[in-house]
Amino acid sequence: MPMGYWVVRVSVKNAENYPDYLAAAAPAFEKFNARFLVRGGRYVAPEGQARDRNVVVQFQDYDTALACYHSPEYKAAREIRVANAEADFLIIEGSS
């Protein structure tokens, strides 16, 4: 069965408050068995626009990735993220 992924590129606007988002999102990630494959790290953007931070999160399938994003646990965290960062956010079905 194909996995589900979040592919997120983030530019943090308020580094002081951004850890609040990470803490608030933790219950959603735990509930939906999220597995972080990429969380920051070095990168190069040979084409297009880059953001400060890149994240890839793996879920058991596409529906679970969607359910996590739309869950009450993540909605509360998302409000904090939106207030403190700009992001490009994709939910993708793909192979493991």
**How is the chain split into domains, by residue range?**
3-43+50-94
Provide the pLDDT for residue 40.
Answer: 87
Provide the pLDDT for residue 1.
Answer: 84
Class (C level, CATH) for 3-43+50-94: alpha beta
Q: Does this model's pTM top 0.85?
A: yes
Q: What distance in Å separates the CA atoms of residue 85 and residue 96, rounded to the nearest whole number? A: 29
Residue 56 tokens read as 């890839």
Provide the pLDDT for residue 95.
Answer: 84
Residue 12 tokens read as 């943090």
For residue 10, which of 78, 69, 92 has the smallest C-alpha distance? 78
Split the chain (96 residues) into runs of 10 and give each run's mean pLDDT.
95 95 97 96 93 96 98 96 96 90
For residue 57, which of 35, 88, 42, 74 has the smallest C-alpha distance? 35
